[in-house]
């Protein structure tokens, strides 16, 4: 039993250190909302205020035309439009709980209704956590 | 009882815990699952979660004292060893589950990774966070904190509701479980079985768990640390084999109704039950105040520490202190059995060697039964080498040990080092926590 106790103790310490590091890296004010990835386009993504449910909030970025968004229409380079804002979901696709296939049909296109209804007929919006994720992959505002 | 059968429980539960991996493997190609650092981290998170919840379910089933499982683990004491192992491994895996998923989020956003680990309005994730925190708390209390027994027992039972929250997380979150019907059905079945078993004991145990009612007939102090309790059934008596044990809770004002395991000292076939209790802690010390007429509820018997289950007729029995108790039951059934037994009775001093006179009187009890007292203050500590010398070898002999855990562990180690196969060494070591 001593070996088991030791294994659990070590695992708890590793868990504690990992959680501390992740929380510090993600919530420390100077680190902003961006982190390990910047999206395929290389655009920096920064969030200054926490997202409100139903309302992603970001620092205004570049102004991007619909034609420019349409150029990023593959699963390896995927931009989508939600509420007149452009998001680079390229590196997020595999992490999407509903699967990458739920997003890829909207690469390069308008995706507001699909996002706010989870593309389902019963109209379920995404959670506040999902809106917070958008902050991290914001590219710019849609022109026009 | 074959070695294969008495270890098959471990194999079966290990397979049941790892089977989700087979379903997970079939959902998507591994080349996709491990294509990038991000997908690899996600896959690690999924795998640790799946196997972790399956092991958690197994742990719950193992805690339920299902008598039929004893044959597949070699006794209830071995079932509790499996419970500790599966429970600890489940916790380790479930600790790494959110860490791997958060690490995956860090590949595109450290803020998202941090938010994943914090409670929010997203109940789906919150179920998992609360379940894991509860699991951490109650297992830390079990492994690293010495609580009063009744406090620990209550806290440990709360792992049942923690498991329920963990299953809520499993079935509400979008994941491989939600995407694949086979995996979902399997995890659901495991969860239902575990919850049903838990509820039958924890919530409905009063009605569903079979217990026998006895009344205390006499309480005698054997020395300043041990008491001998005799009880008679008020209704139907329990039936037991020599060497088995029962769980007992006594009901008398001033004595809390905690349930503890005790080896049976009486002979099978007698309607009464005799127990020998050593003062080890607060509760067992208070049992000295037990009076004739007090009510006792018995659950059991349990245990596979019974000499006639093993094929070798030449046996070595080693008792330390109060560990003599199961042997008292066994020795009274030796007459004309054809078994040849060398009984080593170890104690620190003559005062601790309770029942020594009874044993010496039973020597030559129609069987070849020899008692060899081994008092530490006279002969030193018993070793495997001394046993081998005095018993004329250890070859083709089954060895039974019952006594202080340190004594048992040291002797088992020594016997193994002397080449005695593990399946010929039997101990009654018991640790609920």
How crowded is the C-beta side of B341, counted as CA atoms within 13 Å? Answer: 31
The sheet carrying B295-302 orders its strands as: B260-263, B245-251, B295-302, B212-223, B226-233, B273-278
- Which of the residue ranges A56-70, A80-94, B19-33, B358-372 has the most confident prediction, judged by mean pLDDT? B19-33
Residue bearing the bigger pLDDT, B367 or B92: B92
Q: What pLDDT is attached to residue A135?
A: 76
Domain that holds residue A11: 2-31
Does the domain made of B3-204 have the CATH classification 1.20.120?
yes
List the CATH code of the domain at B212-302: 2.40.30.10
What's the CA gap between A77 and A45, in Å, rounded?
16
ω before B177 within 30° of 0 (cis)?
no
Q: How far is A10 from chain B (nearest CA, A)?
A: 9
Each residue's pLDDT tens digit, A86-115: 998 987 887 787 778 888 999 999 998 888
- What are the backbone dihedrals phi and psi of residue B414, each rounded to the nearest 5 degrees, phi first? -65, -40
What's the CA gap between B227 and B275, in Å, rounded?
8
What's the CA gap between A92 and A89, in Å, rounded?
5
* Shortest CA distance from B124: residue in chain A: A127
Distance of CA B245 to the CA centre of its chain: 13
Q: Say yes or no for a CB contact (<8 Å) between B110 and A31.
A: yes
- Please name which of A131, A137, A74 lies closest in space to residue A105, comparing C-alpha atoms: A74
Burial status of residue B110 (CB atoms within 10 A of its CB: 0-12, 13-18, 19 or more): buried
Which of B 239-258 lie inside 8 A of A, CB atoms? none
Q: ipTM for the complex?
A: 0.86
Kindly report, as residue ranges, where domains of CATH 1.20.120 are found in chain B.
3-204
Q: Write out chain B residues lying below 8 Å of A53, CB-based.
A: 121
B95 touches chain A (CB under 8 A): yes
A54 touches chain B (CB under 8 A): no
Those residues with Cβ within 8 angstroms of residue B233's Cβ, 6 or more apart along the chain or in another chain:
B212, B213, B214, B215, B271, B272, B273
pTM for the model stands at: 0.82
Kindly report, as residue ranges, where domains of CATH 2.40.30.10 are found in chain B.
212-302
Do residues B388 and B418 lie in contact, with contact meaning Cβ atoms separated by under 8 Å?
yes
Helix (H, G, I), strand (E, B), or coil: what is residue B402? strand
Does the domain made of B311-427 have the CATH classification 3.40.50.80?
yes
Domain identity same for A66 and A122: yes
Q: How many domains does chain A contain in total?
A: 2
Q: How far is A24 from chain B (nearest CA, A)?
A: 8
Residue A47 lies inside a defined structural domain of this protein: no
What's the CA gap between A41 and A79, in Å, rounded?
9
Q: What is the mean pLDDT of residues B17-25?
A: 96
Each residue's pLDDT tens digit, A27-73: 887 544 444 443 333 333 333 333 434 444 455 567 888 998 999 99
């Amino acid at each position: 039993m001593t070996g088991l106790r030791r294994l659990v103790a070590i695992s708890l310490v590793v868990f504690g250190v990992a959680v501390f590091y992740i929380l510090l890296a993600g919530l420390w004010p100077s680190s902003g909302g961006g982190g390990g990835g910047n999206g395929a386009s290389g655009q920096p993504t920064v969030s200054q205020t926490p997202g409100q449910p139903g309302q992603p909030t970001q620092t205004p970025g570049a102004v991007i035309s619909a034609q420019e968004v349409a150029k990023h229409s593959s699963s390896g380079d995927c931009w989508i439009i939600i509420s007149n804002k452009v998001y680079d979901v390229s590196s997020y696709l595999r992490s999407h709980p509903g699967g990458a296939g739920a997003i890829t049909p909207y690469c390069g296109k308008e995706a507001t209704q699909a996002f706010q209804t989870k593309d389902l007929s019963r109209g379920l919006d995404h959670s506040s956590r999902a809106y917070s994720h958008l902050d991290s992959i914001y590219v710019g505002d849609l022109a026009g | 009882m074959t070695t294969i059968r008495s270890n098959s429980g471990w194999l079966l539960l290990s397979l049941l815990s790892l089977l989700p991996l087979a379903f997970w493997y079939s959902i998507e190609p591994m080349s996709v699952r491990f294509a990038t650092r991000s997908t690899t981290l996600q896959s690690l998170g999924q795998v640790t979660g799946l196997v972790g919840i399956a092991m958690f379910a197994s742990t719950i089933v193992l805690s339920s004292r299902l008598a039929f499982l004893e044959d597949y683990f070699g006794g209830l004491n071995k079932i509790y060893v499996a419970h500790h192992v599966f429970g600890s491994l489940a916790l380790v895996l479930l600790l790494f589950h959110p860490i791997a998923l958060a690490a995956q989020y860090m590949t595109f956003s450290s803020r998202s990774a941090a938010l994943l680990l914090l409670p929010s309005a997203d109940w789906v994730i919150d179920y998992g966070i609360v379940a894991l925190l509860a699991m951490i708390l109650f297992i830390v209390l079990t492994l690293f904190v010495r609580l009063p027994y009744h406090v620990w027992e209550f806290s440990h039972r709360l792992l049942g509701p923690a498991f329920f929250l963990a299953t809520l997380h499993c079935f509400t979150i979008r994941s491989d479980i939600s995407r694949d019907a086979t995996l979902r059905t399997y995890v659901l079945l495991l969860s239902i079985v575990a919850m049903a078993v838990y509820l039958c004991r924890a919530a409905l145990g009063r009605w569903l768990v079979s217990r026998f009612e006895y009344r205390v007939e006499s309480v005698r102090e054997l020395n300043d640390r041990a008491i001998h309790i005799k009880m008679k059934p008020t209704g139907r008596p329990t039936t037991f084999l020599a060497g088995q044990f029962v769980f007992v809770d006594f009901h008398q004002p001033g004595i809390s109704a905690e349930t503890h395991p005790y080896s049976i000292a009486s002979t099978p076939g007698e309607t009464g039950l005799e127990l020998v209790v050593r003062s080890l802690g607060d509760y067992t010390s208070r049992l000295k105040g037990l009076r004739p007429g007090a009510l006792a509820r018995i659950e059991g018997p349990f245990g596979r520490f019974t000499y006639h289950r093993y094929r070798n007729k030449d046996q070595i029995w080693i008792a330390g202190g109060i560990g003599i108790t199961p042997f008292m039951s066994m020795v009274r059934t030796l007459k004309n059995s054809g078994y040849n037994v060398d009984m080593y009775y170890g104690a620190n001093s003559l005062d601790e060697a309770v029942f020594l006179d009874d044993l010496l009187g039973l020597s030559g009890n129609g069987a070849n039964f020899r008692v060899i007292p081994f008092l530490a203050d006279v002969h030193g500590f018993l070793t495997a080498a001394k046993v081998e010398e005095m018993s004329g070898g250890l070859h083709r002999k089954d060895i039974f040990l019952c006594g202080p855990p340190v004594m048992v562990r040291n002797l088992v180690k020594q016997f193994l080092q002397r080449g005695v196969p593990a399946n010929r060494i039997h101990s009654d070591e018991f640790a609920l926590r």
